[in-house]
């Protein structure tokens, strides 16, 4: 199991590294917020159908071969992004979506066949930390590379990592032949029925939209917020984002441990929602007055909440879902999360043009607070039952 876990965690780290790269190098590459929003929308617009339709390809080709193809898509995406034009950035996003969509189903199909039920939650939590690993590495390394060598070298570095990953995946592939399984495929109507059958699950889906919007905004435009609104240099903004991603890494494992010990996943999600709303509002309204230490501390707390909620969220879905349809219900609720991923870049771009990035983060804080209230309201059914 360990080699497969390492390979699939590395794949998610690569996808995260490529996804965050334009936002991290934006100040040096003179990329505007609307261009970053266009890039993110392109990734998610392709990634959503790619994840829905990827099960059949995983069954026929195997998870490790799909991982190699995802890494190849990253190489092509970074080559396009290095051209520096708006059209090239759009094409890079569309290409990266071909990696973003299938990587999670491919990982789930392989790891679910290799891990025992007792260890499944922890193993999948570890796999999910690949997002933070890639983000931390990118936040620390890419700004320095952009300043010393130029933005094109940042994309080249990510592409080189993906090429090395292809060699790793292909070397491991023969050992895992026949050990992948397709995920159940549902149409949109069936997904909606699974969500709306239980109000508690429906409120989870509703809350996941602003939570996902907050997470993707933190990952893609926080460096721009730091350099524009918080008075940070490019390097300092990258370090602050690295603090946020480190907080997310701790949160993905730490919140899950707290929820397990207290047997209160929904209560933990409410605390997380309040925390991300507070941090986003504070940074958006008065972040420049906090000082460097305060800004880095709030960034870490921001990441702890806005990037650390996913594991507890999945665990709560599993608790509430019919026990014979946990995977299907999880996929259905994630459809709402994808809507948040798609809407957030456009919302941030519009608000940035009208009132600035600080106002955009305050608006995201208000939406996250509404999602938290939905969790509280939906949780009332627990007391009734």
Q: For domain 1-185, give the CATH number.
A: 1.20.1250.20
Q: How far is CA 343 from CA 37, 217, 385, in A?
A: 10, 10, 35
Distance, CA of 36 to CA of 216 (rounded, Å)? 11
Nearest to 214 by CA among 16, 12, 364, 68: 364
The predicted structure's pLDDT at residue 110: 82
Cβ-proximal residues to 126 (8 Å cutoff; 6+ apart), any chain: 5, 9, 253
Q: What DSSP state is assigned to residue 325? A: S
The token pair that represents 268 in the structure block: 């933990």
Please give the chain's pLDDT, 385 residues, in tens: 889 999 999 999 999 999 989 988 888 888 887 888 889 889 988 887 777 666 667 777 888 999 999 999 999 999 999 998 899 999 999 999 999 888 877 887 787 778 776 666 567 777 878 887 887 788 788 888 888 888 899 999 999 999 999 999 999 988 887 655 555 555 667 667 777 778 888 899 899 999 999 998 998 889 889 998 898 998 899 889 889 988 988 888 888 778 777 878 889 899 999 999 999 999 999 888 888 999 999 999 999 999 888 777 877 776 777 766 655 676 677 777 878 888 888 899 899 888 889 999 999 999 999 999 999 987 665 444 4
Q: For domain 191-385, give the CATH number.
A: 1.20.1250.20
Distance, CA of 258 to CA of 239 (rounded, Å)? 27
Distance, CA of 63 to CA of 341 (rounded, Å)? 25
Instruction: Report yes or no: 201 and 269 within 8 Å, Cβ to Cβ.
Output: no
Q: What DSSP state is assigned to residue 115? A: S
Domain ranges of the chain: 1-185, 191-385
Q: What DSSP state is assigned to residue 184? A: P
Cα-to-chain-centroid distance, residue 131 = 6
The predicted structure's pLDDT at residue 384: 46
The predicted structure's pLDDT at residue 119: 66
The half-sphere exposure of 98 on its side-chain side, counting CA atoms within 13 A, is 17
The predicted structure's pLDDT at residue 385: 46
Instruction: Report yes or no: 142 and 157 within 8 Å, Cβ to Cβ.
Output: yes
The phi-psi region of residue 362 (left if phi > 0; otherwise alpha if psi is between -120 and 50; otherwise beta) is: alpha
Distance, CA of 124 to CA of 111 (rounded, Å)? 8
Helices (H) and strands (E) in the chain, counts: 16, 0
């Amino acid at each position: 199991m360990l080699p497969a876990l390492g390979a699939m965690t590395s794949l998610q780290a690569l996808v995260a590294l490529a996804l965050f790269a334009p936002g991290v190098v934006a100040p040096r590459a003179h990329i505007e917020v609307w261009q970053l929003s266009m890039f993110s929308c392109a990734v998610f617009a392709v990634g959503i159908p790619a994840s829905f339709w990827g099960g059949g390809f995983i069954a026929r080709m195997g998870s490790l071969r799909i991982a190699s193809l995802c890494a190849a898509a990253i190489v092509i995406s970074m080559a396009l992004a290095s051209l520096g034009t708006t059209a090239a950035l759009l094409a890079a996003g569309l290409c990266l979506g071909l990696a973003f969509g299938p990587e999670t189903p491919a990982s789930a199909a392989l790891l679910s066949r290799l891990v025992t039920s007792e260890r499944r939650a922890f193993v999948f939590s570890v796999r999910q930390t690949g997002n933070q690993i890639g983000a931390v590495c990118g936040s620390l390394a890419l700004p320095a590379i952009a300043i010393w060598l130029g933005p094109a070298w940042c994309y080249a570095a990510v592409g080189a990592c993906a090429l090395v990953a292809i060699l790793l995946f292909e070397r491991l592939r023969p050992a895992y032949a026949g050990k992948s399984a397709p995920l159940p495929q549902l149409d949109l109507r069936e997904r909606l029925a699974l969500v709306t059958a239980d109000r508690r699950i429906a409120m989870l889906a509703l809350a996941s939209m602003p939570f996902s919007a907050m997470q993707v905004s933190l990952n893609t435009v926080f460096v721009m917020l730091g350099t524009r609104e918080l008075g940070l240099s490019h390097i300092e903004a990258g370090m602050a984002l690295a603090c946020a991603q480190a907080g997310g890494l701790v949160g993905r494992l730490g919140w899950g441990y707290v929820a397990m010990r207290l047997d209160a996943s929904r209560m933990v999600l409410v605390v997380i929602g309040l925390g991300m709303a507070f941090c986003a509002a504070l940074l958006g309204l008065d972040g420049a007055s906090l000082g460097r230490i305060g800004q880095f501390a709030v960034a870490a707390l921001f990441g702890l909440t806005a990037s650390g909620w996913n594991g507890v969220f999945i665990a709560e879905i599993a608790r509430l879902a019919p026990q014979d349809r946990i995977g299907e219900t999880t996929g259905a609720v994630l459809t709402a999360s994808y809507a948040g991923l798609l809407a957030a870049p456009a919302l941030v771009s519009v608000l940035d043009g009208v009132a600035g990035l600080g106002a955009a983060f305050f608006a995201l804080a208000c939406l996250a607070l509404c999602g938290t209230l939905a969790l509280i309201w939906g949780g009332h059914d627990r007391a009734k039952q």
